[in-house]
Amino acid sequence: MEFERHACDILIIGSGGAAAMAALSARRQTASVTIVSKETSLVGGATIMASGGISSVFNPEDSPEVFFNDILRGGGYLNNRKLARILAECGTEAVLKVEHYGLLLDRKSRDAFNVVKKGEGHSWPRGLLDRREALGFCHGLGQALLTSGTQFLSEVLIFKLLLESDRTVGAIGLSLISGNFIVFSAKAVVLATGGLGAIYETTTNSDMLTGDGYALALEAGAALSDMEMVQFLPLAFPYPRSRRGTIIGMCSLFGPDTRLYNNRGEQYMEKYDPERKEFSTRDIVARGNFIEIMEGRGTASGAVILDPRNNDTYYRRRFEDTCPHIHKMIREVFGDGAADWKETLEAIPSQHFFMGGVQIDEDCKTAVPGLFAAGEVTGGIHGANRLSGSALTEIFVFGDRAGKRAAVYAHSQKKISSQPNSVKSGIEEAQQMFETVNKDGSRPFEVRRKIKKIMWQYFGPVRNEADMKMGIKKLQEIHETDMSALTLGSGHMRYNRERFQAIETLFMIRTALLVANAALMRRESRGSHFRTDFPYTNDNLWLKNIISKQSRDGKVAYQTKDIGDEAFLAGW
Amino acid sequence: MEVTFKIYRFDPDQDKKAGYDEHQIQAERGETVLSLLQKVSENIDPTLAFRFACGKVKCGECSVNVNSIPCLACEKQVEPEILVEPLAGMPVIKDLVVDRQKVIDDLSCRSSWLSKDKKPFDTLSDVPPSDLQTYIKLSGCYQCLICQSVCPVISDDPDGFVGPLGLLWLSQMVMDPRVQFEWNEHMDAMVGECIECGACWQACPAGEIMLEKSFELLRSKNEMSSE
């Protein structure tokens, strides 16, 4: 069996800011750090797509305590308190660190943070907006990686974590460029693979976010929490097809006089949140938009009407300045009138973020010795709903932390090599998928489309028992039938993206089933999880996390645990 | 709309020289070149290699030449006749895929200014507003490598000149008040190699301002040092 080998102390899997921050902090303490990414951008992933800003305590009257309370309230009190507190307390320091590693962040004046936005659910203005959106700090961190001595392996997909005596000792990857397998050995592995946007038909994320980290961690024996908690953003482009789902944002970006209307001219958000209306948290506005469209009160293109016309011109200038890419796309899609806020726009809700994920402790350790995790792949920080701007804060705070802790751990460990048998069986599994060329089964892109449709239809912003049962049945059919008969269009080695996609499709279906089963289990509505058959929050029964864990026979068990119960985190 | 879609093909494992495939494809208004490439690989030819990541005009990974003009495939809208080729002057891995990592790694090895230490600090450093304005304009890069691809000086001297991106990085360091900067002869020489043809400014999908500003800045630095 042929494969390449790669050895390092710390192996970081991921394409975005969490991976970069982990690498940069680990490199301060450890000789050999490797990032493996599915992309070629040094810092890409979901991070480069960000536009809404970085939320932290920048205002002297604000405090970490108030931010912490906002995070919990926004998250429906499902949050892991320890992690939420770290986010609230360490955000500003982490932002400074980003600037220290890389490019200068945008500023209000000579030496003051450019905080310009009070986002939905925040008690204070906390949104640090940047005129380059995320491009500035992504390329700044990228430059820092280039000079840090971090090894960067691009376009490699990790499809299996290697364990010996329950400890993570490496991983197996597939190189897109050569088509070769690569066996990695490492003392510690950091998962920073981002979220799962690609399992949804309509998403603000790229098609690269196929839930890899959830599937890898689950198989390795880690516990996952709150897998039902999928965030939808209220405003995204409805058309053309190649722009569908691309981020527009939240009403607050357009200014305080922004209104949403349905096709009858009703300002419908009054129904869903009479007090905050359009400026309610993103879960509620996204749901309002979804219901209006679903119940036939949308526009001819199946969207709601976004009206920014009554805002002061200050906000339009702010928008043009701080969201240049979105503004350009608004002009391209809706025309000059809409871009100048003289006409209305249309918008649809779109999958945006995932609150659930791999359980970690304050040191970013998962339940599996040697396996750390940071960023969107982890669960618990944001509970049932995330506040605006705190995803970037999260990757900076926890990426840095994961790298540091992984380096400390790696120092205390001897390297264990993986057994030839586990390497062999891992590679054979993948090879079997690649050998099914030109058979009768479905191609990966066809199966992906099916999964995306099912997730959007049955596990979107509005859910109910009967639909979810139907959805699970369909997902199971895909898992059992389509996946075993998956067929590839070509058997070539070099840059065969369909091989990547075949493995990603397996991650997608596994992740989709986790989301679906956890969603069916939670018989209440909380945060982003809304059920028409259980429309209210039920603290008596459901102020609990749902934990998903795979047993040795491969079955996934879903159970509830009290908030703050750390039984699933091994003390290693 | 019926599109005549011509695609550059080259597999170094099999082909002695590059060729072109031609397909007639139905496209809708506003559809992108990336979307057509996906249609080809899904329905016509699964061996076609092309690169993309975000698909939403942010990451710069899908840069290609369309009708001989470099662009992002996820941004470029379809026309009745389309010829897609890899970015000119880049090492081709297969078909439309070029070796981006090699280009970036080589460039960073030759851009000694990237490793300039930044002073440690625990508060935001003090940046004059006018410098910040310039700096922000210099740092909204997609890293799509289009500027490097169109630079005639690089195509004459691929191992010598650092190109527009290398100079952009240099100009960022010059504008960064935290970097202790000593302008040296090597930098002088690099700036002097640019022939000011403007090809990179005009081709940059992030807008002309960035590279133009970068060049102006470095030229003034260069003139100051020669006085």
Q: What share of chain A is helix, strand, coil (3-state, %, to 5)?
A: 40, 20, 40
Nearest CA in chain A to B145: A41
Closest CA to A181 of A504, A484, A485, A434: A434
**For residue B116, pLDDT beyond 80:** no
Taking residues B3-17, report their average pLDDT: 95
**The predicted structure's pLDDT at residue A439:** 77
Q: Which residue of B has its CA nearest to A106?
A: B136
| Three-state SS sequence of chain B | CEEEEEEEECCCCCCCCCEEEEEEEECCCCCEHHHHHHHHHHHHCCCCCCCCCCCCCCCCCCEEEECCEEEECCCCECCCEEEEECCCCCCEEECCEECHHHHHHHHHHHCHHHHCCECCCCCCCCCCHHHHHHHHHHCCCCCCCHHHHHCHHHHHCCCCCCHHHHHHHHHHHHHCCCECCCCCHHHHHHHHHCCCCCHHHHHCCCCCHHHHHHHHHHHHHHHHHHC
Is residue B115 over pLDDT 80? no
With 80 as the cut, is the pLDDT of residue B122 above it?
no
d(CA B227, nearest CA chain A) in Å = 30
Q: pLDDT tens digit string along B45-82? A: 999 999 999 998 989 999 999 999 999 999 999 999 99
CB–CB contact A41 B59 (8 Å): yes
With CA atoms as reference, the chain A residue closest to B210 would be A132
B47 to chain A: which residues are within 8 Å by CB?
A: 489-490, 492, 496
Least Cα distance to A260 among A294, A231, A230, A293 occurs for A293
- Which positions in chain A touch B59 (Cβ < 8 Å)? 39, 41, 44, 48, 206
Alpha-carbon dihedral angle through residues B11, B15, B19, B24, given to the nearest 10 degrees? -60
**Tens-of-pLDDT digits for all 572 residues of chain A?**
789 999 999 999 999 999 999 999 999 988 799 999 999 999 999 999 988 689 999 999 999 999 999 999 999 999 999 999 999 999 999 999 999 898 899 988 887 888 877 888 999 999 998 889 899 999 999 999 999 999 999 999 999 999 999 999 999 999 999 999 999 999 999 999 999 999 999 999 999 999 999 999 999 999 999 999 999 999 999 999 889 999 999 999 999 999 999 999 999 999 999 999 999 989 999 999 999 999 999 999 999 999 999 999 999 999 998 888 899 999 999 999 999 999 999 999 999 999 999 999 999 999 999 999 999 999 999 999 999 999 999 999 999 999 999 999 999 999 898 889 999 999 999 999 998 877 789 999 999 999 999 999 999 999 999 999 999 999 999 999 999 889 999 999 999 999 999 999 999 999 999 999 999 999 999 999 999 999 999 999 999 999 999 998 889 999 999 998 877 776 78
Q: How far apart are the first and last CA of chain A?
A: 34
Whether B125 sits inside 8 A of A111 (CB atoms) is: yes
Looking at residue B158, what is its pLDDT? 85
Whether B31 and A147 lie within 8 Å, measured CB to CB? no
CA A17 distance to own-chain centroid: 12
Length of chain A: 572
Q: Report the percentage of chain B scoring pLDDT > 70.
A: 97
Residue A477 DSSP SS3: helix
pLDDT at B160: 86
CA distance B131 to chain A (A): 10
Distance from CA of B194 to the nearest CA of A (A): 23
**Higher pLDDT, residue A219 or B157:** A219
The mean of the pLDDT values for chain B is 91
Q: What is the 3-state secondary structure (H, E, C) of A118-173?
A: CCCCCCCCCEECCCCCCHHHHHHHHHHHHHHCCEEECCEEEEEEEEECCEEEEEEE
Contact B31 A241 (CB under 8 A): yes
AA identity, residue A472: I
Contact B141 A139 (CB under 8 A): yes
Read off the pLDDT of each residue in B125-133 and give the average, rounded to a whole number. Answer: 87
| Contact state of B127 with A104 under an 8 Å Cβ cutoff | yes
Check residue A305 and report its DSSP letter. Answer: E
A416–chain B nearest CA distance, Å:
30
Closest CA of chain A from B74, distance in Å: 8
- Taking residues B83-108, what's their average pLDDT? 96
Distance from CA of A551 to the nearest CA of B (A): 34
Q: What is the pLDDT of residue A425?
A: 95
Model pLDDT, residue A52: 64
Contact A41 B93 (CB under 8 A): no
What confidence tier does B219 reach under pLDDT thresholds 50, 70, 90? confident
Q: Give A-chain residues touching B28 at CB under 8 angstroms.
A: 240-241
Q: Could you tell me the two tokens for A484?
A: 């075993």
Taking an 8 Å cut-off on Cβ atoms, the answer to whether B30 and A242 are in contact is yes
pLDDT at B120: 65
Please list every residue in chain B whose beta carbon sits closer than 8 Å to the beta carbon of residue A132. Answer: 136, 139-140
Say whether B100 and A49 touch across the interface (CB within 8 A).
Answer: no
The upper half-sphere exposure of residue A217, i.e. CA atoms within 13 Å in the direction of its Cβ, equals 38
Option in A131, A142, A147 nearest B136 (CB): A131
- Cα–Cα nearest to A369, from A547, A214, A565, A569: A569
Nearest to A445 among B11, B42, B108 (CB): B42
What residues in A contact B32, CB-CB < 8 Å?
A: 242
Comparing CB atoms, the residue among A110, A135, A239 nearest residue B142 is: A135
Q: Tell me the ipTM for this assembly.
A: 0.95
